[in-house]
Amino acid sequence: MAEGLLEIKNLKTSFRIKDNYYAAVDDVSITVNKNEVLAIVGESGCGKSALAFSIMGLHNRAKIEGNILYKGHDIANISPAKLNKLRGNDMAMIFQDPLTALNPLMEIGDQIGEIVSLHNKNLSKSERKAKVIKLLNKVGIPHPERTYKQFPHELSGGMRQRVVIAIAIANEPELLIADEPTTALDATIQSQILDLLNELKEDMNAGIILITHDLGVVAETADRVAVMYAGQIVEIADVHTLFGDPQHPYTRSLLNSVPNAAKDQTKLHVIQGIVPSLQKLPREGCRFGPRIPWIDSSAHEDNPVLHEISPGHFVRCTCYSQFSFPEESKEDQSHGVS
Ligand SMILES: Nc1ncnc2c1ncn2[C@@H]1O[C@H](COP(=O)(O)OP(=O)(O)OP(=O)(O)O)[C@@H](O)[C@H]1O
Ligand 1 center from residue 49 Cα (angstroms): 7
Over residues 259-284, the mean pLDDT reads 72
Identify any residues that bridge with 338 across adjacent strands, giving them in sequence order.
Answer: none
Same domain, 167 and 186: no
The domain boundary, picked from 112, 137, 172, lies at 172
Q: How far is the CA of 101 from the centre of ligand 1 (A)?
A: 19
Percent of all residues in the chain with a pLDDT value above 90, rounded to a whole number = 58
| Model pLDDT, residue 335 | 46
Same-domain pairing of 201 and 181: yes
User: Which of 172, 203, 231 corresponds to the end of one domain?
Assistant: 172
Are 77 and 201 part of one and the same domain?
Answer: yes
> Residue 103: how many CB atoms within 10 A of its CB?
12
Q: Is the pLDDT score of 265 beyond 70?
A: no
Q: Tell me which residues have their CB closer than 6 angstroms to ligand 1.
A: 15, 17, 24, 42, 44-50, 213, 277-278
**What's the 231 CA to ligand 1 centre distance in angstroms?**
9
> How many domains is the chain built from?
2
Residue 140: what pLDDT? 87
Each residue's pLDDT tens digit, 189-199: 788 888 888 88
User: How many A from CA of 236 to the centre of ligand 1?
Assistant: 21
Nearest CA to ligand 1 atom 25: 44
Domain end call among 115, 143, 172: 172
Query: Are 109 and 246 in the same domain?
Result: no
Whether 86 and 181 share a structural domain: yes
Residue 97 has pLDDT above 80, yes or no: no
pLDDT at residue 40 above 70? yes
- Name the least confident of 40-49, 127-136, 328-337: 328-337
Strands (E), the chain: 4-17, 20-33, 36-41, 63-70, 73-74, 91-94, 175-179, 207-212, 224-229, 232-238, 306-310, 313-316
Nearest CA, atom 1, ligand 1? 15
Pair (324, 288) in one structural domain: yes
Query: Is 0.90 exceeded by the ipTM?
Result: yes
Nearest atom (ligand 1) to Cα of 53: 18
Closest-CA residue, ligand 1 atom 6, reads 15
Q: How far is the CA of 108 from the centre of ligand 1 (A)?
A: 31
Backbone φ, ψ for residue 178 (5° rounding): -110, 110
Domain of 241 in residue numbering reads as: 4-90+174-334
pLDDT at 68 over 90: yes
Looking at the structure, tell me whether residues 320 and 239 fall in a common domain: yes
Q: Do both 36 and 129 map to the same domain?
A: no
Lowest mean pLDDT among 21-25, 53-57, 196-200, 283-287: 196-200
Single out the residue of 71, 54, 80, 73 nearest to residue 173, CA to CA. Answer: 71
Work out the number of other CB atoms within 10 angstroms of the CB of residue 235: 28
**What's the whole-number average pLDDT of the chain?**
88
pLDDT tens for residues 300-331? Answer: 999 999 999 999 999 999 999 999 988 776 55
Same domain, yes or no: 115 and 209: no
Give the whole-angstrom CA distance, residue 261 versus residue 88.
41
Residues 16 and 110 in one domain: no
261 three-class SS? coil
Same domain? For 186 and 213 the reply is yes
Residue 246: left (phi > 0), alpha (psi -120 to 50), or beta?
A: beta
For 10-47, b where at least 16 C-beta lie within 10 A, e where not — what string?
Answer: ebbbbbeeeeeebbbbbbbbbbbbbbbbbbbbbbebbb
Residue identifier of the C-alpha nearest atom 16 of ligand 1:
47
Q: Whose CA is nearest to atom 28 of ligand 1?
A: 45
Are 262 and 280 found together in one domain? Answer: yes
CATH of the domain at 292: 3.40.50.300
